[in-house]
């Protein structure tokens, strides 16, 4: 993806380098974490409190344009603030930082922010298997990770995001709440220093960052990576479902994110789910998410979604991993073109039955591609719980040979699931497009008890 000219200043680079020099001990030797076993299985994380607590990182911020970049979604106040151009992160130890703006007018500050959940982490399910480690880290780094923090004593909130374009490209924003919800009054981008990222990565994962740095720099090739399913889980029981309802004639649903992003659809708008996968309507075209982080209709992306019209069969499974005490549920959907969509989560078996469709995606089980990939948006408390307790979860798209298919090339971003009440009951799946711009397909299949 191409960075717009002038996205970051020379001063930003200079300050980032200055900040990195502060991180080096006497003699210029860079600090290294403990090396883990080959294949990426991490040792126990080193105590982050051992890091010098007094280091402050001053990072240049590139504010959004006053009117908001073209294609901006959501509610924002114009003109957006332009004065907050220097962010200060001060180490407190334990992966925690004090956050404030060191240049500009009065602005909210946070006494303590834990940045460890923003750093790519080797998930438990992937440990010890290099191909799984690689795939998991790429998806964890290159899916958006945004956290919202309440500002004490004010109706404001502050959000940080490690965005999906490349490692180190982060965002910060300030919102206030009114009668309609969140209203953004400041938004900007900054570069999170590689040295600080590497320090956190090594101490969280117990493995050298240098071994994974190239993989995590930008969008690497995801197509063709062999996915050793036997190393991921073993099958305890399975039940084949010979037919899948495609809901092709139903009107396309929209949750709040799709409603906000409707203007980003550049091809003919679909009336039914079947329209999105109709061969005579390919490719489906949307605005592209470009650096540093805006939707650009002048640089569109195109996807052939015809394969979504032909799910051939489904399988329910109870699967196990030696890395977790309890079995969990996996669902696989095979398509006529050979693609295999596999999803699993230990919350799936316990989905509460609903009498009607979810009102928004917050009422569904949301899965993002990868292995134990964190949710894309979360409040600080939710992110802390997510970081503290791992659970078996994955969403994979494979070809007929068992190799990974890059879900971005296939036009997908996530899957939302909900369970329909009734005597028979059904599991419903919404396949969510690139950048969550639209719901591309709706399938359902009979519910199976775990």
**Is the pLDDT confidence value at 367 over 50?**
yes
**Is the pLDDT confidence value at 390 over 50?**
yes
Q: Please report which confidence band the pLDDT of residue 54 belongs to, taking 50, 70 and 90 as the band edges.
A: low
Least confident of 33-37, 49-53, 72-76, 352-356: 33-37
pLDDT at residue 135 in the model: 96
Which long-range CB contacts under 8 A does 4-13 form with residues at least 24 apart?
4/290, 4/291, 4/292, 7/62, 7/189, 7/291, 7/292, 8/60, 8/62, 8/189, 8/191, 8/292, 9/60, 9/62, 11/60, 12/59, 12/60, 12/62, 12/190, 12/191, 13/191
Mean pLDDT across the stretch 363-389?
97
pLDDT at residue 53 in the model: 53
pLDDT digits (tens, 9 = 90+) for 236-262: 999 999 889 999 999 999 999 999 999
Q: Are strands 412-420 and 353-354 parallel, antiparallel or unpaired?
A: parallel
pLDDT at residue 219 in the model: 75
Better pLDDT: 411 or 449: 411
**Residue 20 CB: number of other CB atoms within 10 A?**
16
What does the domain layout of the chain look like in residue ranges? 10-211, 236-450
Least confident of 50-64, 199-213, 370-384, 432-446: 50-64
pLDDT digits (tens, 9 = 90+) for 301-323: 999 999 999 999 999 999 999 99
**Is the pLDDT confidence value at 41 over 80?**
no
CB 3 within 8 A of CB 292: yes
**Is the pLDDT confidence value at 85 over 80?**
yes
Mean pLDDT across the stretch 210-225?
87
Mean pLDDT across the stretch 364-374?
97
Per-chain mean pLDDT for the chain: 89
Residues paired with residue 379 on neighbouring β-strands, in sequence order: 148
pLDDT at residue 14 in the model: 38
Whole-number Å distance between alpha carbons of 370 and 368: 6
pLDDT at residue 268 in the model: 94
**Is the pLDDT confidence value at 38 over 70?**
no
Q: What is the pTM (predicted TM-score) of this model?
A: 0.87
């Amino acid at each position: 993806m191409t960075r717009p000219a002038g996205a970051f200043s020379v001063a930003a680079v200079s300050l980032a380098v200055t900040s990195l020099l502060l991180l080096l001990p006497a003699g210029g030797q860079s600090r290294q974490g403990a090396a883990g076993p080959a294949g990426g299985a991490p040792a126990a994380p080193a105590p982050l409190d051992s890091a010098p607590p007094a280091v402050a990182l001053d990072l240049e911020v590139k504010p959004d344009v006053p009117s908001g970049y073209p294609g901006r979604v959501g509610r924002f106040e114009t003109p957006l603030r332009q004065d907050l151009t220097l962010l200060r992160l001060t180490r407190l130890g334990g992966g925690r930082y004090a956050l404030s703006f060191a240049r500009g007018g009065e602005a909210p500050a946070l006494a303590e922010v834990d940045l460890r959940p923003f750093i790519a982490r080797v998930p438990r399910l992937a440990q010890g298997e290099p191909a799984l480690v690689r795939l998991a880290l790429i998806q964890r780094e290159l899916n958006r990770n945004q956290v919202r923090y309440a500002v004490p004593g004010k109706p404001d909130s502050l959000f940080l995001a490690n965005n999906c374009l490349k490692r180190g490209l982060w965002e910060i924003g300030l919102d206030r709440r009114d009668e309609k919800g969140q209203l953004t009054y400041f938004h900007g981008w900054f570069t999170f220093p590689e040295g600080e990222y590497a320090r956190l990565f090594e101490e969280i994962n117990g493995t050298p960052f240098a071994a994974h740095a190239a993989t995590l720099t930008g969008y690497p090739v995801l197509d063709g990576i062999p996915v050793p399913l036997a190393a991921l889980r073993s099958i305890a029981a399975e039940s084949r479902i010979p037919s899948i309802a495609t809901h092709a004639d139903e009107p396309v649903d929209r949750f709040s994110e799709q409603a906000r992003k409707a203007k980003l659809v550049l091809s003919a708008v679909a009336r039914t789910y079947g329209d999105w996968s109709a061969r005579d309507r390919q490719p489906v075209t949307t605005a592209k998410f470009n650096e540093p982080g805006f939707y650009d209709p002048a640089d569109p992306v195109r996807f052939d979604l015809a394969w979504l019209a032909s799910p051939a069969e489904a399988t329910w499974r109870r699967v196990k991993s030696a890395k977790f005490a309890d079995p969990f549920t996996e669902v696989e959907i095979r398509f006529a073109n050979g693609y295999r969509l596999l999803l699993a989560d230990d919350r799936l078996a316990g989905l509460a039955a609903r009498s009607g469709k979810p009102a928004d995606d917050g009422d569904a089980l949301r899965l993002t591609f990868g292995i134990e990939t964190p949710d894309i948006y979360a409040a600080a408390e939710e992110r802390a719980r997510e970081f503290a307790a791992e659970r078996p979860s994955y969403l994979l798209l494979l070809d007929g040979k068992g190799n990974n298919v890059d879900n971005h090339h296939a036009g997908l971003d996530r899957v939302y699931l909900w369970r329909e009440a009734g005597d028979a009951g059904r599991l419903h799946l919404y396949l969510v497009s690139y950048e969550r711009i639209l719901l591309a397909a709706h399938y359902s299949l009979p519910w199976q008890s775990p």
